[in-house]
Amino acid sequence: MRGLPVLSLLFCMCAMYIVGIYLFVGGFLLVRLEVNRTSTCGDVLQPGEEPVDFCRVQPRFRRVVLLIIDALKIDFARFDPSNTSPRPYENKLPVLEETVSSRPSHSRLYPFRADPPTTTMQRIKGFTTGSLPTFVDVGNNFASSAILEDNLIHQFGQTGKRVVFMGDDTWESLFPKKFYRSLPFPSFNVKDLHTVDNGILQHLYSTMVGGDWDVLVAHFLGVDHCGHRFGPDHTAMADKLTQMDGVIRSVIDRLQNDTLLVVMGDHGMTDTGDHGGESQKETDAAVFLYSPAPLFHGPPSQNEPDVVPQTDLVPTLALLLGVPIPYSSVGQVLLPLFPPHGKTEGAVGGLSQLEALWINAKQVNRFLETYSGMAKDIPPESLSQLKDEFARLSSEYLTTVGEGRPPSPELAASLQAYLTSVRDTCRATWAQFNPLKMAVGLVILAFACLMCFILSELSLVLIRENGPGLKAPVVVALTVGVCVAVGQLLTQGYIEVAWCLAAAALSSELLFLWRVCRSRATAVAKNGSKAPKYASRLTPRHLLIPSLLVPLLRCASLLSDSYVIAEGRVVTFLMFSLALCIPIHLNWDGLLLPPSPDPLKSAGLLPSPALSPSAVRKESSTLLTCLGLLVGSLYLSLSFHGCREEQGSCQPSPFLSPLSRLQDSQLKNLHYVLSVFSLGLWTYLLRRCLRHYGNLNSSGGTVFTARWILPLLSVCLGLHWAVSATPEDSFRNLAELISLAQLALPRAAFCLLGLGLFLIWLDPLTVFVKTRAVASARCSSLPPPRYRASTGISPQAELHHLIPQIYQRMRRSLDDGELSGGSEVDSRPAVEAYGLGTVYSAPLLLFCGLLGIGMLLLHPEGMAMSFFLLLLEMGALLHIHASSTTLRGLHGTYSGGFNVPWTPIVMWSLAATQFFHATGHLPTFPSIQWGAAFVGFPDGHTGTILPASLVTLNTFASHILFAVGCPLLLFWPLVCEVRGSRGGRVCGEEGEDAVMEMRLRENPQLFSSALLQLTTRYLFIHGAQVFASVCAAAILRRHLMVWKVFAPKLMFEASGFLVSSVFLLIGVTLVLRVDVAVGRWFKRIVPDASR
């Protein structure tokens, strides 16, 4: 087998796709330009003839306590006295409502709306800088870097205020060395509800009593972690909110008159406790403002804001505390906190509403002028309109102040409208794109899809020694890339890697396509006007076959947001429809049922068919049975889907919740029993399949893995589930032991998984060689021994066609043995090789099975049933494909060699997407199961690579399993060719025994081309999906739902493709590793074969 060309061609194809994705994403998800300028106390923002030191004016408040309760959604903060049976998260913070009702001039409670993405790091950036985030910032949530833009923390320090921080350690990475004193606590472990909160409470009250602080920031994480671990509707949430209620009461009791208290949430949470997206449940938090001194001019009025944008906190706090508003802030002051014009007597050193609005407007206009001078992305019409509006308002305000007359009520409203217009313009502008990069990325992806399709259709031609391979395109790509880099270095002084990669990819793609066209033209010239046979497969008509119409239709549907929202169910329907087409097509061709008897054939006037009616009936019944199993698995898998916000009344599957969230003990026990039963069946079926084909007889590493590591891994997983589901307060005496088990069991499972995969790679053969001793001296004169490939089903199947060198020797041995007239016992082959017929598929199947259990460890326990359905669906697809191939072979209508048709490959790729949804995942950021990062690491991580890898394995588990198992589509028709026949003569020529996967070694070139064709077809389908997602994002980049639907879909499709590509290469490499091991085994058994 020519393994290196196959692997290199696949690797180059994956690289082309990756370059195209990199270029497009680089142009589609740009980070906005940061203005690295800071406001100073000497900025002329107030009206007057001479500059005034803003920071020397006595502020409204001298101190501020900022209590951040992570994920404090507005529903948690409201109190309804008429609710007699509140849910666990309702009516648990009565202190807020009590204070607002009893002291309306001292306190307010508002909904506090965050800008998406609603992740903690972006929210901290938002309410300290006053700027708006960009979509791509969501990827930096667990790789926080220092904030370079002007922010409140910097302004507090610049004006000499002592900032004391305690809580979430994210602040330390965002504001390094900015605090007068800090007490950070690790924040990444979402299962830890108490460490951060208890650490804060140990220092909070003593710090407040002391006098060495001006700004006190305390960031509690317990509510957020409780939501991630248990969801909001859990008794643990009630306990956490009750604790926070006590904290707020204690802080209020310790406040002084010159101190402002701000209690706020950075974001909300969904009904499942997640956040990160832009649904109202995720964006709407709560903000509570209180001071012992009168804070508001009067009780709440009709002019109170319904919702306070989170960015508005920045200018409000800055002006109340007497510090400059951060330079890049686009927030708007919260007017109820400032007295109306002419009524500032009661507020010492305070600004009126109009003065606060003027300072705010002038600061925003200054930022707008600076930003528009640095970046040209704001539309000129909008920029000119905003500048004209500010000039008009500035003239009106200065005239009013200069003449000493009271301002008109419309002036304040106009200033507010101006500030709102600036924020809306910036929000629309910072969804900026680089059209050139996007266009180049699209072109590269389009050519990559075309190349992949050509590779799949011309695999046999390209795999030949003299075929148009990729050696020349790779050399040209490297040369062009280096030349572009040198040119950039000489002309610009620096290298843009993106354009070097683009030039390299485009040049290699164009050269490859030109060489293919030239080879076709050469073949036409040699054959006259007749084109070669393979050229007919490159016509557009070939793309319109039914099995390819399904993925093409799906690609077109990606332009619809309705399809993306309902994709999980639509893909299930497409799978079901395509599966039904297989028996219908077979019946249409007359292949599903045995042919009617022909009297001419019975009389011997025509040759008899190479099949028996019983064989056809058996294959047909197998196909229909597996079809029923597939349909049942598809239907049951719908019970494990999650829900998007847009799906309205949809209820997520109860199996998506970890057992620790379930409060009903009987339901918890039922879920646990079902999960363990599914895991046991997974393990049993894998071992049963390997034993069925004789692959558990040897003593190699793969067999050791199947016999011992696989069941031990399952036991570890079952025990881990039991320990994880144990409530923390159930066995107080065994708390340390339970904590140790939560750490040790998953790590032991990881070690067993790694050991098993390593042993499969090190010793992949599952062949057991049995030598029969010579019974008599007469036998010593017999020819050399014969060899048998035993499978456990067909012990009499003689291996006639292993490799050409062995074939002649075995034939002579068989003939001589028959002439010697020996008995049946004496004529048995002297060497039997058990498991040789499934030598390729057995290690690959075990590899997939181990990987599946390892990735199940990263999922909630209830997903064990979904993973079991995945295994059943994989088996059903393989047997449907094998039966279909066998029926066509029995009727003599299948002439595809080892090639796998499009239909099973399309279904295999659809199954990967279908089980992405059936394992509770969605192409949205809130659906990411972050808890996978802490399996085996309850105390968190020191870096980001390991947790990111665990979350990736969790999210794309279905893509990984189907990509690694893709070569099974090539092997399974050969594995099943002896199904149901002891003699092994179900298919093939008369008198020819079925030798299963050993047929592949007879034709190494056909083997290589079939493997290349299978993998490139699978890659083409996934690549076409990525290309369609890219086109949808490019065409609909100004669509209302682009950041809610299409951009996340693009990110998940691209990430899924990258993961699938890597594990497809791993699966192919494992097949090549087995092929090398099989070659060495034959050389060891038959030394003459190596001569």
Q: For the ranges 232-236, 392-396, 606-610, 716-720, which has the lowest average pLDDT?
A: 606-610
What the block records as the tokens of 523 is 């073949």
Residues 825-876 pLDDT 10s: 444 444 566 777 888 999 999 999 999 999 999 999 889 999 999 999 999 9
Host H or E run for residue 498: helix 497-526
What the block records as the tokens of 517 is 């066209």
890 — pLDDT class (breaks 50, 70, 90): low
> Please, what's the b/e burial string for 804-823 (b: 16 or more CB within 10 A of its CB; e: otherwise)?
eebeebbeebbeebeeeeee
What is the DSSP secondary-structure string of 855-913? HHTTS-TTHHHHHHHHHHHHHHHHHHHHHHHHHHHHTT----TTPPPHHHHHHHHHHHH
Residue 807 has pLDDT above 80, yes or no: no
- What is the Cα gyration radius of the chain? 35
SS (H, E, C) 14-29: HHHHHHHHHHHHHHHC
What the block records as the tokens of 464 is 């030949």
What count of Cα atoms within 13 Å lies in the side-chain half-sphere of residue 813?
Answer: 21
In whole angstroms, give the CA distance from residue 346 to residue 297.
9
Q: Are 350 and 337 in contact (CB under 8 A)?
A: no
Q: For the ranges 295-304, 599-608, 760-769, which has the lowest average pLDDT?
A: 599-608
Residues 664-677 pLDDT 10s: 888 888 989 999 99
Q: For the ranges 112-126, 325-339, 473-487, which has the lowest average pLDDT?
A: 112-126
DSSP-derived 3-state class of residue 692: helix
Place of tokens 């991580």: 941
Q: Is 1071 left (phi over 0), alpha (psi -120 to 50) or beta?
A: alpha
Residues 574-627 pLDDT 10s: 999 999 998 998 888 877 777 666 554 454 444 444 556 777 888 888 899 999
* Residues in the chain, overall count: 1091
- The residues, ordered by sequence, that sit 6+ positions from 642 with a Cβ below 8 Å of its Cβ are 652, 653, 656, 917, 920, 921, 922, 927
- The pLDDT, as a whole number, for residue 769 is 73
Q: How many CB atoms lie within 10 A of CB 250?
A: 14
In whole angstroms, give the CA distance from residue 5 to residue 1005.
11
Q: What is the dihedral of CA 500, 501, 503, 504, to 10 degrees?
A: 120
Q: Are 833 and 623 in contact (CB under 8 A)?
A: no
Q: Are 276 and 263 in contact (CB under 8 A)?
A: no
Place of tokens 């019946």: 587
Residue 152 has pLDDT above 70, yes or no: yes
**Once rounded to an integer, what is the mean pLDDT over residues 878-901?**
76
Q: Is the pTM of this model over 0.85?
A: no
What count of Cα atoms within 13 Å lies in the side-chain half-sphere of residue 27?
Answer: 21
Q: How many CB atoms lie within 10 A of CB 751?
A: 14
Place of tokens 């969804």: 431
Q: Are 110 and 295 in contact (CB under 8 A)?
A: no
Bridge pairing between strands 181-185 and 259-264: unpaired
Strand partners, 832: 770, 788
Nearest to 804 by CA among 999, 568, 1046, 668: 999
Host H or E run for residue 184: strand 181-185
Distances (CA, A) of 757 to 469, 685, 837, 952: 33, 19, 22, 19
- The pLDDT, as a whole number, for residue 824 is 44
Q: Residue 1045 gets which letter from DSSP?
A: I
Q: What are phi and psi of 663, to 5 degrees?
A: -100, -20
Host H or E run for residue 54: none
684 — pLDDT class (breaks 50, 70, 90): very high
DSSP-derived 3-state class of residue 68: strand
What the block records as the tokens of 448 is 């990559």
- The pLDDT, as a whole number, for residue 999 is 81
Nearest to 180 by CA among 214, 204, 152, 208: 214
What the block records as the tokens of 1056 is 């899924």
Residue 282 has pLDDT above 70, yes or no: yes
Residue 1083 has pLDDT above 50, yes or no: yes
Bridge pairing between strands 308-309 and 831-834: unpaired
What is the DSSP secondary-structure string of 325-390? PPTT------GGGSPPTT--TTSTTPPPHHHHHHHHHHHHHHHHHHHHHH---S-HHHHHHHHHHH
Residues 993-1048 pLDDT 10s: 446 778 888 788 889 889 999 999 999 999 999 999 999 988 887 676 777 788 88
**Once rounded to an integer, what is the mean pLDDT over residues 984-995?**
41
- The pLDDT, as a whole number, for residue 538 is 56
Question: Where would I find the H helices in 116-270?
Answer: 120-129, 152-158, 170-174, 195-201, 204-209, 222-230, 235-253
Q: Are 780 and 774 in contact (CB under 8 A)?
A: yes
Place of tokens 């002028």: 369
Residues 690-723 pLDDT 10s: 988 888 888 888 999 999 999 999 999 999 998 8
Q: What are phi and psi of 362, to 5 degrees?
A: -70, -35
Cis peptide, bond prior to residue 292, ω within 30 of zero: no
Q: Are 975 and 997 in contact (CB under 8 A)?
A: yes
Higher pLDDT, 558 or 347: 558
Strand partners, 573: none
729 — pLDDT class (breaks 50, 70, 90): low
- The pLDDT, as a whole number, for residue 315 is 94
Q: Are 993 and 798 in contact (CB under 8 A)?
A: yes
Distances (CA, A) of 418 to 336, 412, 426: 18, 10, 12
- Give me the sheet containing 787-790, strands edge to edge: 768-771, 831-834, 787-790
pLDDT above 70: percentage of residues in the chain: 82
Residue 782 has pLDDT above 50, yes or no: no
In whole angstroms, give the CA distance from residue 1064 to residue 281.
39
Q: Are 477 and 512 in contact (CB under 8 A)?
A: no
What the block records as the tokens of 716 is 């570890």
The whole-angstrom distance between residue 49's C-alpha and the CA centroid of its chain comes to 59
- The pLDDT, as a whole number, for residue 811 is 42
Bridge pairing between strands 768-771 and 831-834: antiparallel
Residues 641-653 pLDDT 10s: 888 877 777 888 8
- The pLDDT, as a whole number, for residue 572 is 93
**Once rounded to an integer, what is the mean pLDDT over residues 911-940?**
88
Residue 768 has pLDDT above 50, yes or no: yes
Host H or E run for residue 792: none
What the block records as the tokens of 295 is 């804070």
Distance separating the N- and C-terminal Cα atoms of the chain = 18
Residue 125 has pLDDT above 80, yes or no: yes
In whole angstroms, give the CA distance from residue 718 to residue 857.
9
654 — pLDDT class (breaks 50, 70, 90): confident
Question: Where would I find the H helices in 779-820?
Answer: 804-819
The vertex-14 CA angle with 12 and 16, nearest 5°, equals 70
- Mean residue pLDDT across the chain: 82
Residues 494-543 pLDDT 10s: 788 889 999 999 998 898 888 878 776 665 556 554 555 555 555 555 66
Distances (CA, A) of 228 to 189, 191, 273, 939: 10, 8, 5, 16
- The pLDDT, as a whole number, for residue 732 is 65
Higher pLDDT, 1065 or 147: 1065
Residues 538-578 pLDDT 10s: 555 566 677 888 888 899 999 988 899 999 999 999 999 99
DSSP-derived 3-state class of residue 150: coil
